[in-house]
Amino acid sequence: MPITPATATHSSSNGTAEAILLELVDEDGNTIGTAEKLAAHQAPGQLHRAFSVFLFDERGRMLLQQRALGKYHSPGVWSNTCCGHPYPGEAPFAAAARRTHEELGVSPSLLAEAGTVRYNHPDPESGLVEQEYNHLFVGMVQAPLRPDPAEVGATAFATAAELAERHAKDTFSAWFMTVLDAARPAIRELTGPSAGW
């Protein structure tokens, strides 16, 4: 498995290696503990807190990202603007804003909560499982992107019609349609009826 920021340990202030921990939750989204990131994704998967961000430009086009090839999970596939996991005790909203900036080099404008969705999506390629209680966010992107190549392989803006065409021919993350469908009411509210979402 390639070493990426997601799978690497990082050094704590006393120089010891510290694993990246995720917040484990129950079916209602209440915190019940923590688990190391990779362990939480190994079959059958442990239900953990996650977030998904959908950003749009002023024309109502969705910002998509292609996950970098070095990612430990679902490398090279297309997905929503940004997704990830809060650190234990970190508010999902803060984590969503932080990771969007870390991955894409922009701070979202008008970022708003768009509900939650719970799912279980195995990834046949890696054998890993996305067993997630996902907090959804929608917002605007109004600054030039500066993607981190370790995280993002490519980006693209797509209208609803262009996304349907792209989804038919390109490989998307297993969770993409689940989170998109759950976020659609908030997306429509943000982009207006003419955008077609």
Predicted local distance difference test score (pLDDT) of residue 15: 47
> 88-97, 122-131, 142-151, 168-177: lowest mean pLDDT where?
122-131
> Confidence band (pLDDT; 50, 70, 90) for 13?
very low
Residue 181's pLDDT band (cuts 50, 70, 90): very high
- Following DSSP, what letter does each residue of 59-87 receive, concatenated? TSPEEEEEEPTT-SSSTT-EESSEEE-PP
What's phi and psi for 83, nearest 5 deg? -150, 155
Res. 126: pLDDT tops 90: no
The owner of tokens 């065409």 is: 165
Mean pLDDT of the 54-63 span:
97
Angle at 116 (CA atoms; ends 115, 121), nearest 5 degrees: 145
**What would the mean pLDDT of 104-119 be, rounded to a whole number?**
96
Please give the DSSP secondary-structure letter assigned to residue 128.
B
Specify the pLDDT at position 17: 56
Cα separation, 125 vs 134, whole angstroms = 22
* Helices of type H across 7-124: 37-41, 92-104
Mean pLDDT of 38-67: 96
- Catalytic residue numbers? 83, 132
Q: What percent of the chain has pLDDT over 90?
A: 83
pLDDT at 159 over 80: yes
Going through the chain in order, the beta strands assigned E by DSSP cover 10-11, 17-18, 21-25, 31-36, 48-56, 62-67, 78-79, 82-84, 109-122, 129-140, 152-158
Q: How confident is the model at residue 75 (pLDDT cuts 50, 70, 90)?
A: confident
